[in-house]
């Protein structure tokens, strides 16, 4: 394929070509799914390997990819820019091995690259049900222009270079295209903690020399949060917000931490700030709804949770919290219905199983409730609220020794126990 010329706004071949570019290392398990998903849309596959020791390279070549080698230097932007150097297409779609282009995105993508004035498309990314924030936007589809290049060594992006080019050549446009989706499976693997640890090293080094980069401070905070280091996460996120107070992601992430610390009023403030910056941030609405349920503000809770589900109908957390809101309103059937939707979408959402158990308990179906509590604790054995509620359910059932066991476990995990329950269990200790 002939190397694309430097593009100009409004000029595009009648049949524009697409290069799919990737950087990989030891991805023999993930890579076939990714390459299968793009082979019907790619005119060229560019794979830059950064040191694989498995069958990654041979798999890529079996799919017809052009394989190049790059010595790893702890800089994802440098590696991605190496892939761009070898691309000949008019357009570039950058993919990762743990991603997939759904078939429903292929036709919209083919239509999108026929627009001669578009420099880049911001497309949707689905990180899956286990991600802290499932849906987001990423700049992965763009014209093959020598001025469009990645920056930042981790959570790298072409957006800064795109903004500079548009300022220089105003005829270009960027566009948010919701009909093109990339499905990311990275949050579903077992290597997530290693990914966070690697990111910490790279990002910490970067902010040491770029202390005003709020974006990297935000991502660094999220990495600490993913590793359970909440104090470090909070510090990084507050630094990000000192630089950019309006950042939806930083406000949302700080809200998460404060909600876990039961500082609910502060969490509400940060969630509202996140929503003000991005009204489509469904997860912020879902967590805000959960706090409103906790505070007994059921009308506000239901309103926020319905908004969250209007944005993302597959957000299990929103279904779970809405179900609990309905149960607290006395609408038990509607609550159980929402909670069954939640566990169908995400069977590993412990809070949904616990809330469903609460619903079954109030409906008097205790056998179903016990099953749901067991599911919640199998997912998260240290789920204090589940132990506490299970203690109450066992007491009602007359299983006093089990009630004592779960009550003690809840106390050991820091749960606040109703003094009346402690008095009722005294004779059974």
Domain with residue 163: its CATH number is 3.90.550.10
**Is 81 within 8 Å of 144 (Cβ atoms)?**
no
Handedness of CA 182, 317, 198, 61 (dihedral sign): negative
| Closest among 423, 425, 420, 427 to 405, alpha carbons compared | 425
**Does residue 132 belong to any structural domain of this protein?**
yes
Is the same domain home to 333 and 416? no
Is the same domain home to 293 and 405? no
Is the same domain home to 345 and 400? no
**Does residue 11 belong to any structural domain of this protein?**
no
Is the same domain home to 74 and 127? yes
Is the same domain home to 342 and 233? yes
Give the contacts of 280 (CB within 8 A, at least 6 positions apart).
311
Interior/surface letters 164-200, b for 16+ CB within 10 angstroms, e for the rest: ebbeeeeebebeebeebbbbbbbbeeeeeeeebeebb
Residue that terminates a domain, selected from 362, 393, 413: 362
Is the same domain home to 139 and 227? no
Cβ contacts of 80-85, under 8 Å, gap ≥ 24:
80/21, 80/23, 80/150, 80/156, 81/149, 81/150, 82/23, 82/48, 83/21, 83/22, 83/23, 83/46, 83/47, 83/48, 84/21, 84/144, 84/148, 84/149, 84/150
Find the domain containing 205 and state its range. 192-362
Is the same domain home to 279 and 239? yes
Chain CA centroid to CA 399, Å? 41
Q: How many domains does the chain have?
A: 3
Residue that terminates a domain, selected from 308, 330, 362: 362
Residue that terminates a domain, selected from 124, 158, 188: 188
**Does residue 12 belong to any structural domain of this protein?**
no
Is the same domain home to 181 and 32? yes
CA atoms of 58 and 177, how far apart (whole Å): 34
How does DSSP assign 231-252, residue by residue? HHHHHHHHHHHHH-TT-HHHHH
Q: Which helix (H) or strand (E) holds 134?
A: none
**Does residue 213 belong to any structural domain of this protein?**
yes
Is the same domain home to 299 and 252? yes
What does the pLDDT read at residue 295? Answer: 95
Is the same domain home to 148 and 232? no
The model scores a pTM over 0.75: yes
**Does residue 238 belong to any structural domain of this protein?**
yes
Q: Give the CATH number for residue 295.
A: 1.25.40.10
pLDDT tens digit at each of 429 positions of the chain = 777 689 999 999 999 999 999 999 999 999 999 999 999 999 999 999 999 999 999 999 999 999 999 999 999 999 999 999 999 999 999 999 999 999 999 999 999 999 999 999 999 998 887 777 777 889 999 999 999 999 999 999 999 999 999 999 999 999 999 999 999 998 876 566 677 778 898 999 999 999 999 999 999 999 899 888 999 999 999 999 999 999 999 999 999 999 989 899 999 999 999 999 988 889 999 999 999 999 999 999 999 999 999 998 989 999 999 999 999 999 999 999 999 999 999 998 999 999 999 999 999 898 899 999 999 999 999 999 999 999 998 998 899 999 999 999 999 998 889 999 898 888 888
What does the pLDDT read at residue 189? Answer: 64
Query: Residue 93: is it exposed, middle or buried by C-beta count within 10 angstroms (0-12/13-18/19+)?
Result: buried
Q: Work out whether strand 173-184 and strand 99-100 pair parallel, antiparallel, or are unpaired.
A: antiparallel
Is the same domain home to 181 and 255? no
What does the pLDDT read at residue 28? Answer: 96
**Does residue 266 belong to any structural domain of this protein?**
yes
Is the same domain home to 283 and 200? yes
**Does residue 202 belong to any structural domain of this protein?**
yes
Place of tokens 């040491």: 208
**Does residue 8 belong to any structural domain of this protein?**
no
């Amino acid at each position: 394929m002939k190397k694309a010329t430097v593009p100009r706004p409004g000029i595009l071949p009648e049949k524009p070509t697409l290069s799919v570019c990737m950087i990989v290392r030891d991805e023999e398990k993930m890579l076939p799914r990714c390459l299968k998903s793009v082979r019907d849309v790619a005119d060229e596959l560019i794979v830059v390997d950064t040191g694989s020791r498995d069958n990654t390279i041979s798999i890529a070549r079996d799919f017809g990819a052009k394989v190049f080698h790059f010595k790893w230097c702890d800089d994802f932007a440098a590696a991605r820019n190496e892939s761009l150097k070898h691309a000949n297409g008019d357009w570039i779609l950058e993919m990762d091995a743990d991603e997939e282009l759904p078939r429903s995105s292929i036709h919209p993508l083919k239509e999108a690259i026929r627009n001669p004035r578009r420099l880049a498309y911001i497309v949707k990314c689905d990180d899956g049900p286990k991600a802290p924030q499932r849906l987001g936007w990423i700049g992965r589809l763009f014209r093959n222009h020598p001025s469009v290049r990645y920056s930042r060594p981790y959570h790298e992006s072409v957006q800064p270079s795109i903004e500079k080019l548009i300022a220089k050549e105003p005829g270009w446009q960027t566009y948010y295209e919701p009909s093109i989706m990339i499905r990311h499976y990275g949050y579903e693997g077992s290597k997530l903690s290693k990914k966070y640890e690697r990111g910490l090293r790279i990002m910490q080094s970067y902010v040491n020399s770029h202390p005003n980069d709020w974006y990297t401070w935000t991502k660094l905070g999220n990495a600490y949060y993913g590793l359970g280091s909440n104090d470090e996460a909070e510090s990084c996120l507050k630094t990000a917000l000192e630089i950019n107070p309006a950042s939806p992601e930083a406000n949302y992430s700080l809200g998460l931490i404060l909600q876990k610390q039961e500082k609910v009023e502060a969490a509400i403030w940060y969630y509202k700030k996140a929503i003000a910056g991005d009204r489509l941030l469904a997860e912020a609405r879902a967590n805000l709804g959960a706090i409103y349920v906790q505070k007994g503000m059921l009308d506000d809770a239901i309103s926020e949770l319905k908004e969250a589900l209007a944005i993302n109908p597959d957000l299990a957390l929103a279904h779970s919290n809405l179900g609990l809101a309905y149960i607290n309103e006395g609408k038990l059937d509607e609550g159980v219905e929402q909670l069954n939707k939640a566990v169908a979408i995400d069977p590993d959402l412990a809070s949904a199983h616990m809330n469903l158990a609460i619903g079954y308990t109030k409906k008097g179906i205790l056998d179903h409730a016990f099953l749901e509590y067991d599911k919640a604790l199998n997912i998260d054995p240290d789920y204090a609220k589940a132990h506490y509620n299970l203690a109450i359910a066992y007491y009602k059932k007359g299983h006093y020794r089990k009630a004592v066991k779960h009550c003690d476990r809840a106390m050991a995990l820091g749960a606040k126990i109703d003094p009346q329950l402690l008095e009722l269990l005294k004779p059974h200790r």
